């Protein structure tokens, strides 16, 4: 029996693109079913993220016409990442494998075949990676690529130029669902789930119709979310400054003390140096508090400590 594939597509006010997206996805699904790559029980699952336009109406009509279309409606708009997780959560009940993609056809549907190929080779996660950003403006490209670099520097394990176009096996989705955090940054979480992964390259197209639902303000918020949801490095920077002030302040206090003794400088210079030293002391105290805050933050996420891929053992379970 061929595996059941679920496409998971978050939609927020996408009435302009849904008719075309659904048509193209259905063509692709028929192609995959026809070739015997996936089961006829496979579905295209649209997640309505609290849209204010006719998005849900369109999804229900699609389902009425062809049961290969299905839908999930959230009670209100919660943002792309939550919508995607809601879709994966639903799909995991029915599917062997999922592919998440945007509704606006920016993620090249042509890459699906290669993703399925990689999945059949035994990869649980296949990341869709943008090979070119020709259609992006210089500004979007520079900010996006800068973002990946900053994330790496912060020690967050993310795949360069990969957004949320990815294939995930059922066990990978189930692993992801064990992460109980509410500040979602899925492209940082999926690598943490582990399992064998692979990449497929595609050219990012322009949005088929309608406007981006991610204006600059949301993009910056998302980047900040990514860093603060994954890295405690900003807290550790405090210690670097603490050390700097401590050393410089101490050296300066000694130096100005000697210079004052020799009559070269006024007593206020010692005061100034001592102030730098005590700033270092205060920063160190803040840094120590930061270390505990950082631990607390990680504990509060209740992330799984491990996900077991395989056990080989011939003992009997008690
Ligand atoms: N989206 C969503 N909820 C939101 C914002 C966006 O589900 O609150 C969906 C949107 O419908 C699309 C995907 O997330 O399928 C990516 O959004 P968009 O294409 O507007 O972002 P961009 O490609 O411009 O970064
Ligand atoms: Mg888009």
Closest ligand 1 atom to 9 CA: 15
210 CA distance to ligand 2 middle (Å): 9
Dihedrals phi, psi of 58, to nearest 5 degrees = -65, -45
Ligand 2 centroid–CA 40 distance in Å is: 29
Distance 212 CA to ligand 1 centre (A): 7
What does the pLDDT look like over 145-202, one tens digit per residue?
Answer: 888 888 888 888 888 888 899 999 999 999 999 999 988 889 999 999 999 999 999 9
> Which of 11, 12, 52 to probe ligand 1 with, by most ligand atoms within 8 A of CB?
12
Q: Are 256 and 265 a contacting pair, CB within 8 Å?
A: yes
**Ligand 1, residues 10, 50, 87: which to mutate, most atoms within 8 A of Cβ?**
10
Q: b/e for 304-314, b at 16 or more Cβ within 10 A?
A: eeebeeeeeee
**Quick count: other Cβ atoms within 10 Å of Cβ 232?**
16
Q: Is 10 in the pocket of ligand 1 (CB under 6 A)?
A: yes
Output the 3-class SS for 285-315.
HHHHHHHHHHHHHHHHCCCCCCCCCCCCCCC
Using CA atoms, how far apart are residues 96 and 5, in angstroms rounded to an integer? 6
Q: Report the candidate in 89, 97, 104, 102 with the shortest Cα–Cα distance to residue 10.
A: 102
Query: Quick one: three-class SS letters along 145-184?
Result: HHHHHHHHHCCCCCCCCEEEEEEEEHHHHHHHHCCCCCCC
User: What are the residue ranges spanned by the domains of the chain?
Assistant: 5-213+305-312, 233-301
Question: Which two structure tokens, joined as six digits, stand for 145?
Answer: 């690529």
Question: In CATH, which of 3.60.20.10, 3.90.550.10, 1.10.1040.10, 3.20.20.210 is domain 5-213+305-312?
Answer: 3.90.550.10
- 77: Cβ below 6 Å to ligand 1? yes
Ligand 1 site, residue 235, Cβ cutoff 6 A = no
Report DSSP state, residue 208.
S
**Per-position pLDDT tens, the chain of length 318:** 799 999 999 999 999 999 999 999 999 999 999 999 999 999 999 999 999 999 999 999 999 999 999 999 999 999 999 999 999 999 999 999 999 999 999 999 999 999 999 999 999 999 999 887 666 778 878 887 888 888 888 888 888 888 899 999 999 999 999 999 988 889 999 999 999 999 999 988 888 888 887 777 887 888 888 888 888 888 889 999 999 999 999 999 999 999 999 999 998 999 999 999 999 999 999 999 999 999 999 899 999 999 999 888 989 888
| Burial zone of 112 (CB within 10 Å; 0-12 exposed, 13-18 middle, 19+ buried) | buried
Question: What pTM did the predictor assign?
Answer: 0.84
Is any atom of ligand 1 closer than 6 Å to the C-beta of 87? no
The alpha carbon of 128 and the centre of ligand 2 are apart by a number of angstroms equal to 14
Per the CB < 8 A criterion, the answer to whether 38 and 77 are in contact is: no
């Amino acid at each position: 029996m061929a595996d059941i594939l679920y496409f998971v597509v978050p939609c927020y006010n996408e009435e302009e693109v849904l008719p075309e997206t659904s048509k193209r996805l259905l063509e692709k699904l028929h192609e995959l079913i026809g070739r015997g790559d996936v089961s006829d029980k496979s579905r295209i699952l649209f997640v309505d993220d609290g849209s204010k336009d006719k998005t849900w109406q369109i999804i229900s009509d699609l389902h009425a016409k062809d049961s290969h279309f299905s839908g999930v409606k959230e009670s209100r708009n919660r943002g792309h990442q939550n919508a995607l997780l809601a879709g994966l959560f639903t799909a995991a009940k029915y599917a062997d494998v999922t592919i998440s993609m945007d509704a606006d056809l920016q993620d090249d549907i042509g890459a699906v075949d290669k993703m399925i190929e990689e999945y059949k080779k035994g990869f649980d996660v296949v990341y869709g990676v943008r090979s070119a950003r020709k259609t992006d403006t210089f500004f979007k490209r520079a900010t996006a690529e800068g973002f990946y670099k900053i994330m790496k520097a912060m020690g967050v394990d993310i795949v360069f130029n990969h957004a949320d176009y990815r294939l995930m096996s059922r066990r990978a989705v189930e692993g992801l669902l064990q992460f109980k955090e509410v500040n979602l940054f899925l492209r940082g979480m999926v690598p943490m789930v582990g399992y064998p992964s692979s990449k497929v390259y595609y050219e990012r197209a322009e949005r088929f119709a309608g406007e981006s639902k991610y204006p600059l303000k949301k993009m910056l918020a998302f980047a900040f979310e990514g860093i603060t949801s994954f890295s405690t490095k900003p807290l550790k920077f405090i210690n670097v400054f603490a050390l700097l002030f401590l050393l410089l302040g101490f050296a300066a206090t000694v130096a100005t003390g000697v210079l004052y003794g020799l009559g070269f400088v006024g007593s206020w210079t010692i005061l100034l140096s001592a102030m730098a030293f005590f700033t270092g002391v205060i920063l160190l105290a803040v840094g120590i508090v930061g270390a505990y805050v950082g631990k607390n933050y990680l504990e509060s996420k209740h992330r799984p400590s491990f996900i077991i891929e395989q056990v080989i053992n011939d003992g009997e379970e008690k």
